[in-house]
């Protein structure tokens, strides 16, 4: 069938023409403020390793020890015989850390979101999602069989209007911190609306867990909301926690239903027990090394102050995600490339990841950065901005 080859080739050609073609980098170093790429060192402002834990010596030591004790591969899905002691301990620790009855590990955030939405929703239900929700939430909602409605970004009034127009069970789904904009969802208002309308609220805290709230318990805890307010809490482990995988936390009923029904949970191999053990150490570090959150917060303030003085196009974000709005995809790509030539790694985020005309440099800060590195970033941004 030459048809498939031809069609795929046409899509690639079009992407190239529109400056939307994506390429992967191949790193020859661990994640960190400085990474090695094609034989040179780069200042890294594009990873989601917000606390600098991905290569932390204690995580590496836990991973090594658990690999020696439990092996590298889990060997099976959780329901067959892939669920080992480190997985169990991690689930219990995650439930405690988030103040939930129980937690359930998934092999990725994408699987957790699509699997949870497929399990929760059925025909006759309605799901309401912020337009800027992560692709995995949008896909999960679209494929769930429920009526699917998007509401304007962070617009509780628009959501309330759309919710009151439908009958039947309703689920509202938002990112706690939006991955490409860095701004936070108005969780207290959303929770109040859901309570008033007798709807459930699901929060994807991929970018808040580990970073916001006491001990890094996340944006939901920071907003003072518990399990009754946010019955479905999801977060990933591959960002601030520095490892990989994800979890969903909530009531015993929710977790048991996911174990019995979520196809993305049942029909997939459990993450490595060594990864689970390393993540347990991340949770310990969240409690013991609160300086990481404090230093990150100070760097965010420093960056925003400096960028304001330089009149760079900052977005309304208080998180570690500090995008600069460029607009045109080609310009964003050119800026990213000239920064690369000057030794800085910053991704150009273009459609379809963000709406057309809102291409941006997605700058991410980490507790592993120094103040000097942030100052260098500001200097280079001032030099490369479009004149």
Ligand X SMILES: *Cc1c(COP(=O)(O)O)cnc(C)c1O
Looking at beta carbons only, is 44 or 129 nearer to ligand X?
A: 129
- The interaxial angle of helices 329-341 and 371-384, nearest 10 deg, is 130
Closest residue by Cα to residue 203 from 242, 214, 223, 215 = 223
User: Residue 237, Cα to own-chain centre: how many angstroms?
Assistant: 9
> Applying CB under 6 A, which part among 16-24, 108-116, 140-148, 347-355 lies near ligand X?
108-116
Residue 134 known to bind ligand: yes
Looking at beta carbons only, is 175 or 229 nearer to ligand X?
A: 175
- Among positions 177-196, residues that touch ligand X (CB under 6 A) are 179
- Is 238 an interacting residue with respect to ligand X (CB under 6 A)? yes
- Is 175 an interacting residue with respect to ligand X (CB under 6 A)? yes
Token digits of residue 279: 């993540």
- Is 336 an interacting residue with respect to ligand X (CB under 6 A)? no
CB of 238 to ligand X, least distance (A): 5
Backbone phi, psi, residue 288, to 5°: -80, -25
- Is 47 an interacting residue with respect to ligand X (CB under 6 A)? no
Residue 114 known to bind ligand: no
- Residue 351 contacts by C-beta under 8 Å, 6 or more apart in sequence? 20, 329, 359
Looking at beta carbons only, is 204 or 229 nearer to ligand X?
A: 204
CB of 87 to ligand X, least distance (A): 16
Which residues are known to be catalytic? 179, 207, 239
Query: Residues 101, 250: contact at Cβ < 8 Å?
Result: yes
CB of 107 to ligand X, least distance (A): 8
Binding site listing for substrate = 22, 134, 353
- Residues of the shown chain interacting with ligand X in the complex, contacts defined by CB under 6 A: 108-110, 113, 134, 136, 175, 179, 204, 206-207, 236, 238, 246
């Amino acid at each position: 069938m030459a048809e498939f080859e031809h069609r795929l080739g046409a899509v690639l050609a079009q992407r190239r023409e529109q400056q939307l073609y994506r390429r992967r980098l191949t790193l020859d170093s661990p994640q960190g403020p400085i990474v090695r790429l094609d034989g040179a060192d780069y200042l890294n402002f594009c990873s989601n390793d917000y606390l600098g834990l991905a290569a932390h010596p204690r995580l590496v030591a836990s991973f090594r020890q658990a690999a020696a004790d439990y092996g590298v591969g889990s060997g099976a899905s959780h329901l067959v015989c892939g669920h080992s002691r480190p997985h169990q301990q991690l689930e219990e620790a995650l439930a405690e850390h988030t103040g939930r009855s129980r937690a359930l590990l998934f092999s990725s955030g994408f699987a957790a979101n699509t699997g949870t939405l497929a399990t929760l929703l059925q025909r006759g239900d309605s799901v309401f999602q912020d337009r800027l929700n992560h692709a995995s939430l949008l896909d999960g909602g679209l494929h769930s069989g429920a009526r699917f409605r998007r509401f304007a970004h962070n617009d509780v009034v628009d959501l309330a209007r759309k919710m009151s127009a439908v009958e039947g069970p309703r689920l509202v789904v938002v990112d706690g911190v939006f991955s490409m904009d860095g701004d936070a969802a108005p969780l207290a208002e959303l929770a109040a609306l859901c309570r008033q309308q007798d709807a459930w609220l699901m929060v994807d805290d991929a970018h808040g867990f580990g970073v916001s709230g006491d001990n890094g318990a996340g944006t939901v805890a920071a907003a003072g909301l518990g399990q009754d307010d946010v019955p479905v809490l999801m977060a990933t482990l591959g960002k601030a926690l520095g490892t990989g995988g994800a979890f969903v936390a909530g009531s015993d009923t929710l977790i048991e239903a996911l174990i019995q029904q979520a196809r993305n949970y049942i029909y997939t191999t459990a993450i490595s027990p060594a990864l689970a053990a390393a993540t347990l150490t991340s949770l310990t570090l969240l409690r013991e090394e609160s300086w990481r959150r404090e230093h990150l917060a100070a760097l965010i303030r420093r960056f925003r102050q400096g960028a304001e003085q330089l009149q760079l196009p900052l977005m309304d974000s208080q998180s570690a995600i500090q995008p600069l709005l460029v607009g045109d995809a080609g310009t964003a790509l050119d800026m990213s490339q000239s920064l690369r030539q000057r030794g800085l790694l910053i991704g150009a985020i273009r459609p379809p990841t963000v709406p057309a005309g809102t291409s941006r440099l997605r700058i991410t800060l980490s507790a592993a950065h120094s103040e000097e590195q942030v100052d260098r970033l500001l200097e280079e941004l001032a030099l490369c901005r479009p004149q």
